């Protein structure tokens, strides 16, 4: 699992930053990616990268402000040109379907794949074999959501040396054992999964918030997260300005991470008034509040390692 920031600017692009979009790369066997928001120019950021639109599996929109949305119709249209583009699910606030239907109707777009738009409310919005995604409403000028992505625990690794000693042939039996099923060999011996499979690997929790003032739901979504992505539009000292526009300061993002007990904080959505040097200084300035803070960097990957196995 890793995050790549395709845009980190608030409101409008700058010479060095695009507007908001984040790609979440999924591990094997999926090897696809999810997208969180799609500001103008998102598909341009993907050109020359490893991200191909036929590998895009799901999109999660936080809200309908243009710096998070205007790249979506073009991206969806371009996806029709990619061979193997399968059904695509998009999750987002009420009004998203009407927006897309209107744009496509007026521009004569016909997608070459099935598009499923899900307008969400608070609660669990997705459950599959590997993930649970929960949404909660934040405090912004438009209805805006944050997402908590919980990776389910994964099966433990096979003890290949022990399997060889027991005479278990490689193939389908390995898969059954990894799924926790005991197997019987041709010789009649039963091999218990518990004897050849290691402890389950804990899943990871990633919280990606849309634009927001400090609020209880931000803390709840980020509780114990391995990685929290939080906006930091303004510098410390501009709390009143941030509140007026429905945003947070660097200090408020750090306070949310601390209150939630998050393990790591990446801030993004920076006002165009701050260049990269200023952003780095602002992040360093709030490390007394939350030491494990770092500013997002355009097109840089942030790896999210698995939590260590416990002895229990």
Block means of pLDDT (10 residues each) for the chain, 312 residues, are 96 95 86 94 93 95 98 96 92 98 96 96 94 97 97 82 84 79 84 80 93 98 98 97 97 98 98 96 98 96 82 48
pLDDT recorded at residue 308: 72
pLDDT recorded at residue 47: 93
The full set of domains in the chain, from first to last, is 2-154+201-303 (3.60.15.10), 160-196 (no CATH)
pLDDT recorded at residue 153: 85
Cis peptide, bond prior to residue 29, ω within 30 of zero: yes
Q: Report strand pairing: 301-303 vs 131-137.
A: unpaired
pLDDT recorded at residue 309: 63
The angle formed by the CA atoms of residues 22, 25 and 26, to the nearest 5 degrees, is 140
Contact by Cβ (8 Å): 177, 183: yes
Nearest to 165 by CA among 144, 136, 195, 194: 195
3-state secondary structure of 103: helix
pLDDT recorded at residue 312: 44
Residues annotated as part of the active site: 67
Contact by Cβ (8 Å): 55, 24: no
Q: What DSSP string runs through 277-312?
A: HHHHHHHHHTTTT-SSEEE--TT-EEE-PPPPPP--
Residue stretches of the annotated binding site for Zn(2+): 63, 65, 67-68, 140, 211, 269
Residue 112 gets which letter from DSSP? S
Token couple for 263: 């393990």
Secondary structure of 217-285 in the HEC alphabet? HHHHHCCCCCEEEEECCECCCCHHHHHHHCCCEHHHHHHHHHHHCCCCEEEECECCCCCHHHHHHHHHH
Contact by Cβ (8 Å): 298, 6: yes
């Amino acid at each position: 699992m890793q995050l790549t920031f395709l845009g980190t600017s608030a409101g409008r692009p700058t010479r060095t930053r695009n507007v908001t979009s984040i790609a979440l790369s999924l591990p094997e066997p999926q090897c696809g990616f999810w997208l969180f928001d799609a500001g103008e120019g998102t598909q341009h950021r993907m050109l020359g990268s490893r991200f191909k639109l036929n590998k895009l599996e799901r999109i999660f929109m936080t809200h309908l402000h243009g710096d998070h949305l205007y790249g979506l119709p073009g991206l969806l249209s371009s996806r029709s040109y990619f061979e193997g583009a399968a059904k695509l699910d998009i999750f987002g606030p009420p009004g998203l379907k009407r927006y897309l239907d209107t744009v496509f109707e007026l521009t004569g777009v016909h997608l070459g794949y099935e598009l499923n738009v899900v307008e969400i409310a608070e609660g669990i919005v997705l459950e599959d074999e590997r993930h649970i995604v929960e949404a909660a409403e934040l405090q912004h000028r438009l209805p805006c959501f944050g997402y908590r992505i919980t990776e389910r625990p994964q099966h433990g690794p096979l003890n290949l040396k022990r399997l060889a000693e027991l005479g278990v042939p490689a193939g389908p039996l390995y898969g059954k054992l990894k799924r926790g099923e005991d197997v019987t060999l041709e010789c009649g011996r039963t091999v218990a999964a518990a004897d050849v499979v290691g402890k389950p690997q804990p899943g990871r929790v990633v919280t990606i918030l849309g634009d927001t003032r400090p609020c209880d739901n931000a803390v709840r979504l980020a509780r114990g997260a391995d990685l929290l992505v939080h906006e930091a539009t303004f510098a410390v000292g501009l709390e009143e300005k941030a509140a007026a526009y429905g945003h947070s300061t660097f200090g408020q993002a750090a306070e949310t991470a601390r209150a939630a007990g998050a393990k790591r904080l990446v801030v993004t959505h920076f006002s165009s008034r701050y260049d990269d040097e200023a952003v780095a200084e602002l992040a360093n300035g709030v490390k007394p509040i939350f030491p494990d803070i770092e500013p997002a960097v355009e097109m840089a990957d942030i790896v999210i390692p698995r939590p260590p196995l416990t002895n229990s």
